Structure 1
Amino acid sequence: NFNAISTQLARDLLAALSYIEEDDDIWAAVITGAGEKAFCSGADLKERKNMTKPQMIAQRKLFVKMFTAVSVFPKPLIAAVNGVAFGGGLEIALGCDWIVAAENAILSLSETSIGVIPAGGGTQNMSRVIGKQKAKQLILTARRLTAAEAKEWGFVARVVPQAELMNAAIEEVASITKNAPIAVYQAKKAINFGVDLDLYTGLVLEAEAYNAALYSEDRDEGLAAFNEKRKPVYKGR
């Protein structure tokens, strides 16, 4: 089913995110799709066609919770897009911190072509990544882009051959996790929640995030390692 978002898939992704967030030994993660044909084709419309209205309302609440959990997740998430990423599938990827895509990937916020709108964060996250005008071009036309085109548009960070996708995504994670996790989490928080504030309020948020890192054991380790000319050993404390 091209990893379509069913009720069960939404529950499973929420459970996985909860596990990752609560495990202090996991500092970052990759989200990808099973197989090589699809990252995620969007909502499971076959499941939805037989739903009653109350069931659809309940599923919608679950989906909003899932999409929001991805977009506000406190630890770094890298999307490894391995095939088609349509509708809600691309919205999951956009909720991650950045996207690594296989050369054969096709990406689209396709919802307007079936009578709805991107409502898994697509209108908001895409606009924030590439700007309002370009986001309108993609969403109002339901345009499909190749991975290379998506990189040119500015919402895919890196394009690699399909066979190298997971290694590339793991490389991205490794480039993050060599740094102090508390500092990484606080920097992500300051960017995500500060970018739409007025400058003064954003600077206050940044100062609070800095203080959270400043008084950590990892900051002491980073300073000691710098002065001792060695690699730091961070513990996430």
Structure 2
Amino acid sequence: MTTINKENNTNYQYIKVDIASKVAVVTIDRPPVNPLNSAVFIELTAIFSELEQDKNVHAIILTGNGQKAFVAGADIHEMSSLNAAEMLEMNRVSGEAYNKIANLSKPVIAAINGVALGGGLELALACDLRIASERAKFAFPEVGLGIIPGGGGTQRLQKMVGQGIAKELLFFGEMFDAQRAIDLQIVNKVVPVEEVLSAAKEWALKLAEKPVIALRMLKLAVNEGANVDLTTGLALEMASFSTAFATDDRIEGMAAFVEKRKPTFTGK
């Protein structure tokens, strides 16, 4: 197991990273409920930038420390002390982190081990897949603070659940449980609290064995296709298909299929 830390010239105060078997586990460690402040956002952008360049990492899990909270929202103590200009800068920093995760070339799984509120739920929505504890709770409570989500919540949520449900969750800001989250397809899977990380690792290990360029093209086609018309999306899919088809992994995958053996992908 490899841990990214001060020893390799990276100083993370609120982030822990463990790497094993091509899977990186990124843990937000700001007890007791892992709130997001500017420093955490900066560290998230930095570590995901590092992991994107690390050829030994094929899949990433994002989680929170402990069983109480994935991330219990943004740090309101910090936000309440900011003026409008300072808040705009914090939004820029947070937006960079959310977008880095959402657009990363590698799959990212959120292991939601506890409450995911406001900015914490936005963080989960920026990931590709979400596995939640059966005890997890979710909410966008911003309206009760006189504000609205500022990290993509109004946009990513409606693309998942539709405008009607999105407006209900955003307008009322009420807590909902893991069962409703899976009913609304906000999360992919719900497991007992003690199995959240192991379930996420099981998925991540499977993804880590997939051909990396094909996965990258899949994520690109789905993400970008969600924001364009069908004709443009189909053209994007064809371009992504062509990129994947030109790889050594495609040759290996098809040869393995014909020869009835397990493929050995090299990422080329």
* Normalised-by-shorter TM-score class: over 0.9
Shift of 1:176: 2.0
Contact 1:68/1:120, CA 8 A, preserved across alignment: no
Partner of 1:44: 75
Q: Residue 91 of structure 2 aligns with which residue?
A: 60
* % same residue: 38
Q: Pick the structure with more strand per residue.
A: 2
Shift of 1:170: 0.8
Residue in 2 aligned with 1:207?
Answer: 238
Q: Which residue of 78, 92, 108 corresponds with 1:77?
A: 108
1:115 to 135, 146, 169: 146
Q: Look up the match of 2:3.
A: none
* d(CA) in 2 for partners of 1:52, 1:140: 25
**1:126-177 residue CA offsets vs partner (Å, 9 max, x unmatched):** 1111111111111111021111121112211100011111010011212322
Match of 2:64 in 1: 33
Give per-residue Cα distances to partners, 1:74-109, cap 9 Å, x unaligned: 211110101110000000000111210001110111
Question: What one-letter code is carried by the residue in structure 2 that aligns with 1:46?
Answer: H
Per the alignment, residue 193 of structure 1 pairs with 224
**SS, match of residue 251 in structure 2:** helix
- Counterpart CA distance in 1 for 2:89 and 2:207 is 37
Distance in 2 (CA, whole Å) between partners of 1:70 and 1:132 is: 24
Pairwise mapping of residues 127-166 of structure 1 onto structure 2 (< 5 A)?
127-166=158-197
Q: Larger helix proportion, structure 1 or 2?
A: 1
Mind listing any 5+ residue stretches in structure 1 that lack a counterpart? none
Question: How many Å apart are 1:120 and its aligned residue?
Answer: 0.7
- The alignment status of 1:224 with 2:255, answered yes or no, reads yes
Match of 1:15? 46
Q: Please tell me the root mean square deviation across aligned C-alpha atoms, in Å.
A: 1.3
TM-score of the superposed pair, with normalisation by structure 2? 0.85
Kept in 1, the 8 Å contact 2:91–2:150? The answer is no
The one of 113, 124, 129 aligned to 1:98 = 129
User: Displacement of 1:54 after TM fit?
Assistant: 4.1
Provide the TM-score with structure 1 as the length reference.
Answer: 0.96
> Per-residue CA shift, 1:24-65, capped at 9, x if unaligned?
221110000011110001111112333355433322211111
| One-letter code aligned to 2:110 | A
Name structure 2 gaps, 5 residues minimum.
Answer: 1-31
Further displaced range: 52-61 or 26-35: 52-61
Give the distance between the partners of 1:12 and 1:168, measured in 2 at CA.
25
Work out whether residues 91 and 151 of structure 2, in 8 Å CA contact, stay in contact via their aligned partners in 1.
Answer: no
